[in-house]
Amino acid sequence: MFEIVKRDGLARIGRFETKSGVLETPALLPVINPKICTVTPRELCDEFAFSAIITNSYIIKNTPELKAKAQEIGLHEMLDFPGIIMTDSGTFQSHMYGEVEVTNEEIVEFQKSIGTDIGTVLDIFTEPHWTKDQTAESIEVTLERTEKACEIKGDMMINGVVQGSVYPDLREYCARKMADMDADVHPIGGVVPLMEQYRYSELVDVVMSSKRGLNPSRPVHLFGAGHPMVLALAVLMGCDLFDSASYAKFARDDRMMFIDGTCRLQDMQSLGCNCPACRGLTLESLKKTDKKKKTAIIARHNLYQITDELALIKRYVREGRLWELTETRCRAHPAMLDALRELKKHREFMEKYDPISRDGAMFYTGTETRGRPVFGRYLSRIQDRYIPATDKAAIFYDGGSKPYSRARPADFDRVRRSGYTPVVISPFGPVPAELDEVYPIAQSVFPQAEDTDTQIESKSSAAELLERKFTETVDGMDVPDDGTEEYDADTIRAKAVSRYQFGTEATDALFVGKIELVISKNTGKIRNVISDGKHILSMRAGDGLYTLKKDGADRIVSAIRTPFMRVRVADDAIPFVSEGRNVFCQFVTECDENLRPMEEAIVTDGHDRVIATGRMAMTAYEIKSFKKGVAVKVRSGAGDET
Ligand code: GUN
Ligand code: ZN
């Protein structure tokens, strides 16, 4: 059973329950070669705190002493590892050395007989150079074998491996078929050659097309990815599990892993590492160490690099900043930068999963930042949902200080008195003054010196919006200070934010009769919106977006047909949810597919009556797939809490 605890991009911090304990994801499973233990499983557990490892059942089965021992005392005792053990099936050996002498059923049964927690099908490794026909044919065999493995798995979990070489449509097809089977984890296989050859942008397409087809409620394992350099990107794309044989393999030939690549000991100018394995050593002393001890030190160094990076990745996911870390990491190698640029092609798919807001500021790290879903989302929302208060625009430029209307109140007032709407050309594109406090506009930090991509893109998207929404556009500095028109900036803002967040139809339903705004005395910001005597919305100071109150939800539900903004729950959940408890996915019977994580949602009963309001913790598709976990974080509904 898998549960999402925290998310960012497609990344998730998850809880994966197995019969040997709970694994927090993202997690890396060090590979144990049962014949050569460079670092013992016991040390991996006690010293490095790994809660899961992976070993090879094919090697064990083909080594008589190991086979007998494993079947007699079980894999956990044989390896002296109390945590979770995953085993592979021999597929990788067939990739390396040709045919293997075992059938799918034999190796699955064998894995069961030695007490593996997560066993692997004997899938067919689809090589990157294979033709499409050859790949398609072999996928059918892998699918049949997976079906069989799921039938006979017993209480062992099964890895259903997604294959498909470099063909995105075959990857997605294979993933979709796998999603319908009773597999427990989905490794993405056949990618080792891509990583060895630095073909990271193809890796992006392979992972993303597999993710499109997979069931989101199962962990995804990226088979053979264990270099710290690729982990942030892989986690951002929604990979939960990794395995590394390289930590030991590289150590045996004096190669040290670092976050920015791998270095051969003989080519290094200095050691420059203070990990527990290297501490106190110099390059010279390490070079002089005898082979066995040196291998042990480097293997440990490599493991520390991996564990440090994973810990950092988790921190960034928790802070909602994994895009920033990934963009930084992808500058370690031009091939990684290609991968990051390739990821932009998947922006629309990622947007469905990308949280609508986050705590803290969004940092721009370079032109690739423009590939993040927030950019596309902002532009499509203002194009679709923005209605200007006047039909004339006055243009200003981003001076770095935000929110814009607080940075230049006199200028904005001057143009408004002449009937113009101030529009700032920002790195996000055009920002009407009334939207300058919503996430991510006010919560983003850009370098003062703009790059060419930003200049070109923000100008062209601004031109498009101005053309579509206004009849006249002037430079804000050219508007004389003699206007006398009256305007109510707060009410304009209150409606504009509502349209941006909920759409125009919902806004028409929400804003009826007399509108009163409660403004914070300290900040001057809108706090509550009262419409026709009812408190319908509260604005959060942090992201400038609304929380929806019960009275507001009632209006939307009366005006707009279900499933708009709805999460409908089963009768047995209603008493709990009405008391303010969260909605769990197993109780959801219907959900609006357009709701994004962190978006406001209306919880309804079977008669479309409002039970509560809250914020989405998952997407509709995830809610349908998951057996466990919070679908909507419900707020009690009382008072004007935000
Ligand atoms: N190890 C690395 N790649 C693969 C793969 O594609 N399948 C299996 N079973 N193991 C692997
Ligand atoms: Zn080190």
Q: Is 494 inside a domain boundary? A: no
Supply the pLDDT for residue 359. Answer: 87
Task: Kindly report, residue by residue over 56-76, the tens digit of the pLDDT.
Answer: 999 999 999 999 999 999 999
* 363-371: average pLDDT: 96
Cβ–Cβ < 8 Å for 552, 601: no
What is the pLDDT averaged over residues 31-38? 91
Q: pLDDT value at position 641?
A: 43
Q: Is residue 424 part of a domain?
A: yes
What is the reported pLDDT for 638? Answer: 40
72 with 24, same domain: the answer is yes
Whether 605 and 639 have beta carbons less than 8 Å apart is answered as no
Q: Whose CA is nearest to atom 4 of ligand 1?
A: 189
506 and 578 in a single domain? The answer is no
The two tokens of residue 385 are: 């949902």
Residues 366 and 475 in one domain: yes
Judging by beta carbons within 10 Å of its beta carbon (0-12, 13-18, 19+), is residue 359 exposed, middle or buried?
A: exposed
- The pLDDT score that the predictor gives to residue 246 is 94
How far is ligand 2, taken at its centre, from the CA of residue 363, in Å? 30
Tell which atom from ligand 1 comes closest to the C-alpha of 190.
6
Q: Are strands 255-258 and 261-264 parallel, antiparallel or unpaired?
A: antiparallel
Residue at 220 is within a domain: yes
User: 47 alpha carbon to ligand 1 midpoint, in Å?
Assistant: 27
pLDDT, one tens digit per residue, over 221-264 is 999 999 999 999 999 999 999 999 999 999 999 999 999 999 99
Annotated active-site residue in 8, 80, 88, 354: 88
Q: Does residue 591 sit within a domain? A: yes
Q: What is the mean pLDDT of the chain?
A: 96
**Which residue is closest in CA terms to ligand 1's atom 9?**
91
pLDDT value at position 536? 98
pLDDT in tens, 487-524: 999 999 999 999 999 999 999 999 999 999 999 999 99
554 plus 568 within the same structural domain: no
Does residue 105 form part of some domain? yes
136 plus 107 within the same structural domain: yes
Residue pair 63/35 in contact (Cβ under 8 Å)? The answer is yes
Residues 195, 318: one domain?
yes
- pLDDT-derived band at 88 (thresholds 50, 70, 90) equals very high
For ligand 1, what atom is nearest to the CA of residue 122?
9
- The alpha carbon of 191 and the centre of ligand 1 are apart by a number of angstroms equal to 8
Residue among 107, 110, 162 nearest 138 (CA): 162
Of 423, 452, 487, which marks where a domain is finished? 487
Q: Which of 123, 145, 163, 246 to mutate to test the pocket of ligand 1 (most atoms within 8 A of CB)?
A: 123
Q: How confident is the model at residue 626 (pLDDT cuts 50, 70, 90)?
A: very high
Q: Look at residue 441 and tell me whether its pLDDT is greater than 50.
A: yes
The pLDDT of residue 642 is above 50: no
Is the pTM of the predicted complex or chain greater than 0.85? yes
Bridge partner list, 612 = 603
Residue 397: inside a domain = yes
Tens digit of pLDDT for each residue in 447-468? 999 999 999 999 999 999 999 9
Inside any domain, residue 621: yes
Query: Does residue 173 contact residue 134 with C-beta atoms inside 8 Å?
Result: no
Instruction: Name the residue at shortest CA distance from atom 6 of ligand 1.
Output: 189
Q: Which of 460, 487, 514 is the last residue in one of the domains?
A: 487
Alpha-carbon distance of 623 to 205, in angstroms, equals: 25
Mean pLDDT, residues 76-98: 95
88 catalytically annotated:
yes
Determine the 3-state secondary structure of 278 from DSSP. coil
**429 and 383 in contact (C-beta within 8 Å)?**
no
Atom number of ligand 1 nearest to Cα 90: 9
Atom 11 in ligand 1: which residue has the minimum CA distance?
Answer: 92
Ligand 2 centroid from CA 108, angstroms: 38
In order, the DSSP letters of 162-228 are B--TT-HHHHHHHHHHHHTTT-SBEEE-S-HHHHHTT-HHHHHHHHHHHHHHS-TTS-EEETT---H
Residues 150 and 287 placed together within one structural domain of the fold? yes
Q: Is residue 390 part of a domain?
A: yes
User: Which of 31, 58, 92, 122 to probe ligand 1 with, by most ligand atoms within 8 A of CB?
Assistant: 92
Domain edge (last residue) among 348, 383, 408: 348
Instruction: Clarify whether residues 213 and 120 are in a common domain.
Output: yes
Do residues 193 and 77 share a domain? yes
* Structural domain total, the chain: 4
Query: Residue 228 C-alpha to ligand 1 middle, in angstroms?
Result: 19
Q: Assess whether 173 and 310 both reside in one domain.
A: yes
- What's 209's domain CATH number? 3.20.20.105
Rounded Cα distance, 95 and 87, in Å? 17
Same domain, 325 and 404: no
Question: Which domain covers residue 478, as residue numbers?
Answer: 362-487
Out of 223, 227, 242, 244, mutate this one to test ligand 1's pocket (max ligand atoms within 8 Å of CB): namely 223
Query: Residue 223 C-alpha to ligand 1 middle, in angstroms?
Result: 6
Q: What is the CATH number of the domain that holds 587?
A: 2.30.130.10
Instruction: Provide φ and ψ at 526, rounded to 5°.
Output: -65, 135
The whole-number pLDDT of residue 98 equals 87
| Ligand 1 closest atom vs CA 189 | 6
Q: Is the pLDDT of residue 315 over 50?
A: yes
Render 457-513 in DSSP notation, one character per residue.
HHHHHHHHHHHHH-SEEEEGGGS-S-------HHHHHHHHHHHHHH-HHHHHHHS-S
Residues 6+ apart with CB under 8 A from 107: 57, 58, 61, 89, 90, 122
Give the pLDDT band (50/70/90) at residue 639. very low
Question: In this structure, which ligand is nearest to the CA of 121?
Answer: 1
Residues 239 and 378 in one domain: no
* Ligand 1 nearest atom to the CA of residue 89, by list position: 9
Name every protein residue with a CB atom under 6 angstroms from any ligand 1 atom: 88-89, 91-92, 120, 123, 125, 161, 189-190, 192, 223-224
- Torsion of Cα atoms, 73 then 74 then 78 then 80, to 10°: -110
Summarize the confidence of residues 548-565 as an average pLDDT.
97
Q: Which two tokens stand for residue 71?
A: 């079947």
pLDDT for 640 beyond 50: no
